[in-house]
């Protein structure tokens, strides 16, 4: 039997990444736009885990579908962990990716290379319509570059430099990014949880 799994996002890039990551599970992946769901869940949690759980539980209850929701963001040490849970809204609600990372680069003006350490974090929450929720997390360390580079990815990827790859996240081929990224780590752990839940 194939379960339908709702990916609680309007971001086509994310849906594509998750569809690839979940390709070998007996599920049909759908998303908010495909299901015509206009409901917006206010992300009022203080942590990525709280926000992910809020979204997963709300959409699962609303739609009657198994739901996969994530929250992720960038923590910059020199900025006290900002933008953190506000990463997507860091430059205002309708800002572009470029406007967000430009604001970040401006905030780090004058900060030397060795103090530009940062990490991407991601938490995936899985919820069933009857209220079962499980979470998985991933993190990825890097340095905020002095300027953007690379054509792949989205969000802050062009300014997130990974010394061990000598490249920004946006310069990595998508399959490499999916393997090492915070979202890739969280998604693989969540896929295992999903497999267990499906078998149960």
Catalytic residues, by residue number, are 71
Q: Which long-range contacts (CB under 8 A, 24 or more apart) does 29-34 make?
A: 29/5, 30/4, 30/5, 30/6, 30/65, 31/6, 31/7, 32/6, 32/7, 32/8, 32/59
Q: How far is CA 169 from CA 84, 120, 144, in A?
A: 18, 11, 11
What DSSP designation does 2 have?
Answer: P
For β-strands 66-76 and 3-7, DSSP reports them as parallel
Query: Helix (H) and strand (E) counts for the chain?
Result: 6, 7
Residues sharing a CB contact under 8 Å with residue 30, sequence separation 6 or more, in sequence order: 4, 5, 6, 7, 65
């Amino acid at each position: 039997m194939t379960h339908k799994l709702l990916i609680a996002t309007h971001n086509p890039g994310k849906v594509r990444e998750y569809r690839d990551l979940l390709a070998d599970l007996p599920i049909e992946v759908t998303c908010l736009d495909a299901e015509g769901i206009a409901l917006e869940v206010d992300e009022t949690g203080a942590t990525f885990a709280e926000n992910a759980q809020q979204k997963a539980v709300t959409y699962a209850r609303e739609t009657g579908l198994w739901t996969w929701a994530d929250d992720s963001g960038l923590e910059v040490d020199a900025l006290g962990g900002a933008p953190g849970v506000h990463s997507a809204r860091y430059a205002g609600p309708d800002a572009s990716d470029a406007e967000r990372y430009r604001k970040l680069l401006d905030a780090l003006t004058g900060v030397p290379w060795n103090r530009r350490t940062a990490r991407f974090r991601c938490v995936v929450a899985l919820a069933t319509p009857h209220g079962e929720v499980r979470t998985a997390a991933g993190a990825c360390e890097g340095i905020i570059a002095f300027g953007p580079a690379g054509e792949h990815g989205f969000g802050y990827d062009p300014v997130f430099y990974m010394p061990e790859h000598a490249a920004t996240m946006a310069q990595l081929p998508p399959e490499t990014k999916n393997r090492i990224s915070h979202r890739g780590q969280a998604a693989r752990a969540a896929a295992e949880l999903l497999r267990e839940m499906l078998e149960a």
